[in-house]
Amino acid sequence: MERPCPFCGATTKRELCPACGRSVTARRIVCASCQKQTPKDEKACCHCGQTHKSDLRWKIPLIITLFVLAAVITILIEFAR
């Protein structure tokens, strides 16, 4: 069964696209800049070159803040006794 490559549009029967060399079954995300599908495992969009922002970009500082807050609360409770 021939299917179009989601990245360059070429049709292929193989898993790797002969035109762009990417896997047609690779996990994809939609680029925030150009709104086209791009491989999730690549660092930048294959269409516009915009680098992907990590899903953890806002989560890591939040987790660190919560750990620090928990430590401060624990220390304050111990001093209150």
The single residue listed with the structure tokens 């994809």 is 28
> What Å distances lie between residue 40 and 13, 32, 43, 62, 67, CA to CA?
22, 12, 8, 24, 30
5 with 17: CB under 8 angstroms?
A: yes
Query: What are 3-16's pLDDT values in tens digits?
Result: 888 878 888 888 88
Query: What are 19-77's pLDDT values in tens digits?
Result: 888 888 888 888 888 988 888 888 888 889 888 777 777 888 999 999 999 999 999 99
Number of domains in the chain: 1
Largest CA distance in the chain: 72
Range(s) of the domain holding residue 24 = 3-80
